[in-house]
Amino acid sequence: MMWHRPEGFRLGGTSRARLRVWGLTAAYGPVQVLRGLTFEVKPGLTVILGPNGAGKTTLLRALNGLIPRGGDAILDGEELPEKTHEIVRAGVSLVPEGRQLFGQMTVRENLELGGWLFDRAEREQRIEQAFTDFPKLRERALQLAGTMSGGEQQMVAVARAMVSRPRLLMLDEPSLGLAPRMVDELLGMVRRIADAGTTVLMVEQNVKKALAVADRGYVMERGELVASGDARLLARSTVVREAYLGAQDSQTTDARDAVQRRQRGQGTATPVG
């Protein structure tokens, strides 16, 4: 039995939200991490790729109000708030790296936290819909989240985020540490969430599988975006193939290097496609 319904999801927004970001900056004390990023998250599934330390998690934390940010972020024509609870009210939810569940609380109690901004009646309705969208969670409603496997916990984390019925769902490394079969199911579920109308922004290191389900992608290196384009074209691009899917040239060390080599050799710009 799948963890989610194959038909699609009732939870989540249906407005197919659009996020536009200009000059995004963020730092930890004196250390500048994000260096003026400009990008767009269109309806569907957008993936951000890159190695550890590229700034991918910092990008999501900045957009979710967990750290101060500079620049402009516009969600469906309105400025994205700066405080996390206001961002959630605006329709943005984050599934953080490591899931961040409360292990000594039950599955149901963790889901309730996803609806904390709503009154009790609406919260109960959303939790019931979560059990419909994720039928195996109903069977585990009274199980302590800390006793579940990593894949099972990830499904709870996604369901908790969806209880807030987001217009924009952000996921940070959702496949990290999961078995291959669970990775396939999880990414398939994320694709269906996007198809049902919730715009998805996903940070992921599993390059091949992420691009297989995404509509478009960006490649980050050292706090900057070095490539972007249609996911299918990115998967076939020199930038991604050399940096992440097996370098053709032993001198290629990362995507930034691949971009520079491609520009020098072909005179092309960083967008792909």
Distances, alpha carbon 9 to alpha carbons 6, 188, 192, 197, in Å: 9, 12, 7, 9
Q: What pLDDT shows up at residue 246? A: 57
* 234 three-class SS: helix
Report residue 253's pLDDT band, with 50, 70 and 90 as the boundaries. Answer: very low
d(CA 24, CA 30): 16
Is the model's pLDDT at 262 over the cut of 80? no
What residue ranges define each of the domains in the chain, with the CATH number in brackets? 19-236 (3.40.50.300), 237-267 (no CATH)
Q: Mean pLDDT, to the nearest integer, of 111-122?
A: 89
Beta strands in 68-205 (DSSP E): 70-75, 78-79, 92-95, 168-172, 199-203
Report residue 256's pLDDT band, with 50, 70 and 90 as the boundaries.
Answer: low
**Measuring CA to CA, how many Å separate 86 from each of 81, 91, 117?**
6, 9, 10
Please say whether the beta carbons of 37 and 203 come within 8 A.
Answer: no
**Contact (CB, 8 A) for 130 and 118:** no
Which pLDDT does position 5 carry in this prediction? 55
In three-state secondary structure terms, 28 is: strand
What is the structure's pLDDT at 98?
80
Give the pLDDT of residue 151. 86
Whole-number pLDDT of residue 272 = 59
> pLDDT tens digits, residue range 117-145?
888 899 999 999 999 988 889 999 999 99
Tens-digit pLDDT profile for residues 69-78: 999 999 999 9
Average pLDDT over residues 209-216: 96
Q: What is the mean pLDDT of the chain?
A: 86
Closest CA to 5 of 193, 142, 166: 193
Q: Which residues of 237-273 are buried (b: 16+ CB within 10 A; e: fewer)?
A: bbbbbbbbeeeeeeebebbbbbbebbeeeeeeebebe
Question: Residues of 179-190 as b/e, b for ≥16 C-beta within 10 angstroms?
Answer: eeebbebbbbbb
Sheet of 216-221, strand order: 92-95, 168-172, 199-203, 45-49, 216-221, 224-230, 271-272
**What would the mean pLDDT of 230-254 be, rounded to a whole number?**
70
Residue 157 has pLDDT above 60, yes or no: yes
Q: Is the pTM of this model over 0.95?
A: no
